[in-house]
């Protein structure tokens, strides 16, 4: 089982089964690549040029382009300010 927990400031994920990957979104260009022009029209982000966040997902049939794999038996840690860190259990 993969597991994600958060306290609102930190998110920690443990990868112990099916695929787990993450993707950093930094700025308008990344949002456009992820959502497309039509999707961007529906998003209400005050300043897309400075947006910065991380998506973590699992159970892909095939890892989507632009995502980074989290190796089996690893922990991913995401904070509000830093890029994700991945380390072995």
pLDDT value at position 51?
Answer: 78
- What DSSP line would sit under 9-50, residue for residue? SEEEEEE-SS-EEEEEEEHHHHHHHHHHHHHHHH---TTGGG
pLDDT means over runs of 10, the chain (89 residues): 92 92 86 71 68 87 87 94 91
pLDDT value at position 76?
Answer: 97
Query: How many other β-carbons are positioned within 10 Å of the β-carbon of residue 41?
Result: 8
- What count of residues does the chain have? 89
In 3D space, the residue among 19, 20, 21, 51 whose CA is nearest the CA of residue 35 turns out to be: 51
Q: List the domain boundaries for the chain.
A: 3-88
And the tokens for 79? 């904070």
């Amino acid at each position: 089982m993969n597991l994600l927990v958060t306290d609102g400031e930190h998110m920690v994920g443990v990868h112990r089964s099916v695929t787990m990957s993450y993707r950093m979104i930094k700025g308008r260009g990344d949002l456009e690549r992820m959502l497309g022009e039509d999707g961007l029209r529906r998003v209400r982000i005050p300043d897309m040029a400075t947006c910065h966040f991380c998506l973590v997902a699992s159970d892909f049939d095939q890892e989507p382009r632009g995502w980074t794999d989290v190796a089996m038996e690893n922990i991913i840690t995401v904070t509000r300010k830093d890029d994700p860190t991945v380390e072995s259990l």
